[in-house]
């Protein structure tokens, strides 16, 4: 039996209102500003979502929301890029992405977790790719929102 690896956890602190940050995580225009090229999301647990990414590599992730609490959290099944398709997406998505917002003295802590990782060389490669992907995207989220707020 494969051993489950620790989740990817990345946190940024954004000194802006929770409502503004949550909109960037859940509204199509907000998501398209930092995460993907195009987004569709039905904001409720069980609602469908679809994200289109330019890449590299270009890919789409789609599925259902697993968590949705306004201004608190949102989570969904994750479909990985084509190079990890057989490993991570078949027959069902093997990992999930979860965002949580929490007050902190410096603003709002936005924590991303991607969990469901399994041990083994192919999984370690996929996990490394996703760590870098999410690290860059979380930096983009903060920069996008600060630019939106302050120009």
The CATH number for 8-150, chosen from 3.30.365.10, 3.30.530.20, 3.40.50.10420, 3.30.420.40, is 3.30.530.20
pLDDT digits (tens, 9 = 90+) for 82-113: 999 999 999 999 999 999 999 999 999 999 99
Peptide bond into 56 cis (omega under 30): yes
pTM: 0.95
Residue 66 in contact with residue 47, Cβ under 8 Å?
A: no
Torsion of the alpha carbons at 129, 133, 136 and 141, rounded to the nearest 10: -160
Strand, coil or helix: 53: strand
3-state secondary structure of 142: helix
Dump pLDDT digits (tens) for 11-65.
999 999 999 999 999 999 999 999 999 999 999 999 999 999 997 889 999 999 9
Q: Residue 116 is encoded by which pair of tokens?
A: 């469901």
E strand map for the chain: 8-14, 38-41, 48-53, 59-69, 73-78, 95-104, 107-115
């Amino acid at each position: 039996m494969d051993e489950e690896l620790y989740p990817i956890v990345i946190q940024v602190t954004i000194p802006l209102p929770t409502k503004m940050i949550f909109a960037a995580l859940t509204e199509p225009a907000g998501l398209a500003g930092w995460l993907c090229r195009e987004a569709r999301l039905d904001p409720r647990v069980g609602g469908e979502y679809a994200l289109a990414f330019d890449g590299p590599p270009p890919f789409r992730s789609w599925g259902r929301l697993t968590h949705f609490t306004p201004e608190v959290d949102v989570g969904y099944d994750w479909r990985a890029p084509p190079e990890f398709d057989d490993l991570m997406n078949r027959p069902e998505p093997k990992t999930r992405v979860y965002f949580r917002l929490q007050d902190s003295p410096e603003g709002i802590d936005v924590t991303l977790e991607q969990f469901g990782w399994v041990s083994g060389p192919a999984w370690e490669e996929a996990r490394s790719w996703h760590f870098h992907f999410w690290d860059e995207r979380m930096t983009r989220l903060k920069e996008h929102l600060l630019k939106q707020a302050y120009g």
